């Protein structure tokens, strides 16, 4: 599968990952796989607190760049040191929303909406929270998960986000 995706996208490698919430911490399981052969280039499991998320991002980015042998210019090296997500509360809200959505219930969906909206309030540029809201809308529309029409749900209009 990875080989097929790699050929289609014309990429050298794929970074696969899984995030699990463990009480107050989170665990990242990562694997960098060569797309042409499926060979594992690098793997790592990290357990961090949400406040360490930005540090974990930088560690992962540096490890991937090293394993792929990418030659960075000075500007890229500086950019690699900058955290991608600076608002750890936004990340925490997002992580709380994901399992609520996966409950596949109206109550879980409403809780997920609240968490995703809190993440967006905390960091309006946090794309994953918008993706979570979009998944809810699509799930409701495609699967008729909720008996209520979407327009009467507490889901905000996109202009309100």
Which of 47, 81, 115 terminates a domain? The answer is 81
- Highest-scoring range by mean pLDDT, 3-12, 69-78, 106-115, 132-141: 106-115
33: domain CATH number is 3.40.50.10070
Residue 144 confidence (pLDDT): 62
Backbone angles phi, psi at 48, to 5 degrees: -135, 165
Residue 156 confidence (pLDDT): 47
Identify the DSSP state of 89.
H
Cα separation values, 54 from 29, 80, 122, 146, Å: 16, 11, 16, 36
**Structure confidence by residue, pLDDT tens digits, 99-119:** 999 888 889 989 999 999 999
As given in the structure block, the two tokens for residue 105 are 């219930």
Which is higher by pLDDT, 85 or 115?
A: 115
pLDDT band per the 50, 70, 90 thresholds, residue 84: low
From 24, 83, 80, select the one nearest 56 (Cα to Cα).
83
User: Do 69 and 98 have their domain in common?
Assistant: no
Which is higher by pLDDT, 135 or 143?
A: 135
Maximum alpha-carbon separation in the chain: 55
**Structure confidence by residue, pLDDT tens digits, 12-57:** 888 888 888 788 888 889 999 998 888 999 999 988 776 676 677 7
User: Do 71 and 111 have their domain in common?
Assistant: no
From 134, 136, 152, 90, select the one nearest 115 (Cα to Cα).
90
The sheet carrying 40-48 orders its strands as 13-22, 25-34, 40-48
User: Do 15 and 77 have their domain in common?
Assistant: yes
User: Do 26 and 64 have their domain in common?
Assistant: yes
Residue 112 confidence (pLDDT): 93
Mean pLDDT in the chain?
Answer: 80
Look up the domain containing 93 and give its range: 88-160
User: Do 77 and 92 have their domain in common?
Assistant: no
Which of 32, 47, 81 terminates a domain? The answer is 81
User: Do 103 and 156 have their domain in common?
Assistant: yes
User: Do 154 and 101 have their domain in common?
Assistant: yes
User: Do 50 and 103 have their domain in common?
Assistant: no
Residue 161 confidence (pLDDT): 42
Residue 128 confidence (pLDDT): 85
User: Do 11 and 75 have their domain in common?
Assistant: yes
């Amino acid at each position: 599968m990875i080989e097929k995706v790699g050929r289609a996208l014309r990429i050298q490698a794929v970074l696969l990952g899984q995030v699990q919430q463990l009480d107050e911490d989170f665990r990242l399981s990562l694997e960098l796989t060569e797309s042409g052969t499926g060979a594992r280039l690098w793997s790592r499991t990290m357990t961090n607190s949400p406040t360490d998320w930005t540090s974990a991002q930088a560690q992962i980015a540096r490890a991937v760049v090293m394993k792929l042998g990418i030659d960075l210019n000075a500007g890229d090296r500086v950019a690699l040191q900058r955290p991608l997500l600076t608002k750890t509360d936004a990340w925490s809200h997002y992580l709380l929303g994901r399992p609520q959505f996966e409950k596949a219930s109206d109550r879980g969906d409403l809780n997920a909406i609240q968490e995703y909206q809190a993440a967006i309030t905390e960091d309006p540029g946090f794309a994953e929270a918008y993706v979570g809201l979009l998944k809810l809308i699509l799930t409701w529309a495609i699967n008729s998960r909720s008996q209520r029409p979407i327009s009467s749900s507490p889901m905000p209009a996109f202009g309100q986000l």
